Structure 1
């Protein structure tokens, strides 16, 4: 971690390649110049880039962007909605060819926008895990669809058993579905119940809003895995992780 000067009583952060303290950044169509700026200013804090939903389908310089991130040691994967778009069109094998075409080492398997039999979802995970590292997303993008905690736990565990490296708790880029109420408030009971069965290091919590990031960091510490972070929020998030922003300023001092 870059440190411009010495400061005591700062939480220790994990080093790349991280298993915990993971920051997944959402690229919603950044230009090549913006991607280069992200790498220059905060590449040290970015563990993986998600090209949101199906933006990769229409972005004009896709290979150049992927190569740019990967040359900086930052893996890239395509949003789960794109996986679903291929699956619903019965083009799963075409999706696998896209992963190979662009030299992608990660893929997301999700069913947030389509209805997919869970056994079939796990079979997709098994097949893809022989090709790439799989992140599987649990939860619906439909705010009206409330999944009970036991179902979250059951699906997370079976997807990990099927070969997923980590499971992602759904929140969308707005942070107002899945793990959260439409107001953005964390479904606290849901999260705490999930954590009784699923190890925290195997979960990436989508938390695009600052209040959500603060909540998870206070609950699970500086090295909680967080996702759907906007590029301009990477450095602010790092200061929250380190207790160097008002939201967590006192939280970590008492631990030293």
Structure 2
């Protein structure tokens, strides 16, 4: 930090297991990545190249190298995994991961239906090759899972080899753990946290109000995902109680 302030919440340090900020790159240019890393790289733990954007991104290898040189892991969005699986090209997907020297992969079933035992088998196979992050929840706003099902799915995927499980919200933050208005399904989140350790979950929270809600519930070191590149610095100030949204919350806790 640039100067000293008393009564600031403790943040975990990189490389960290909780307090993660996962950033969504939806198509940044090489120059934009360089600018982003200069400003926000210190506060970014992992970057996802959203959905299947890696398929059409120019200079993909050069972009990946920029992130790696900055010490920030990067992975392809889960929709790319689904695009290969639905075409019976899982082995091709594994070869693509090797071709681009990927160390992480996302396994999801938000756009297609995969029997859960098959999804867990994909996780098991990929976990011998890369670090797996799996995503629970559908991108279809009409599909609402009961809390016990979220818990069972998350637990099974962790047992199958997932490093972290992502609670689905899409890039807009209006499905899955949220209502279509963006409001958190509080009862659902509370139920999940009774059974699944919070440090194993990455909550997709693209909207500021959602970020504030989870930080106030769990603390500065909650794992948050689908953060826009321009929102990383603002998010860090929310985590530290240095923005109006959490200013009094953390000041009262740290006195």
Is the pair's TM-score, using the shorter chain for normalization, greater than 0.5? yes
In the other structure, the counterpart of 1:160 is: 158
Task: Tell me how far apart the structure 1 counterparts of residues 222 and 102 of structure 2 sit (CA, whole Å).
Answer: 25
Structure 1 unaligned spans of 5+: none
**Structure 1: distance between partners of 2:94 and 2:32:** 28
Match of 2:230 in 1: 232
Count residues with an aligned counterpart: 254
Segments of 4+ moved more than 3 angstroms: none
For 2:124, which of 112, 126, 144 is the aligned residue? Answer: 126
Q: Does 1:182 align with 2:169?
A: no
Length-normalised TM-score, structure 2: 0.99
Alignment partner, residue 110 of structure 2? 112
* Counterparts of 1:97 and 1:66, CA distance in 2: 17
Paired residue for 1:79, among 77, 80, 89? 77
TM-align CA RMSD: 0.4
Residue among 203, 206, 217 paired with 1:205: 203
Q: Is 1:34 the equivalent of 2:32?
A: yes
How big is each residue's C-alpha offset from its partner over 1:200-242, in whole Å with a ceiling of 9 and x where there is no partner? Answer: 0000000000000000000000000000000000000000000
Distance in 1 between residues matched to 2:177 and 2:76, nearest whole Å: 21
Paired position in structure 2 for 1:92: 90
**Which consecutive unaligned segments of at least 5 residues does structure 2 have?**
none
Superposed CA deviations along residues 142-175 of structure 1, whole A, max 9, x for unmatched, are 0001111100000000000000000000000000
CA-to-aligned-CA distance 1:10-48 (integer Å, 9 cap, x gap): 001100111010000000000001101111101010000
Look up the SS of the partner of 1:245 in the other structure: coil
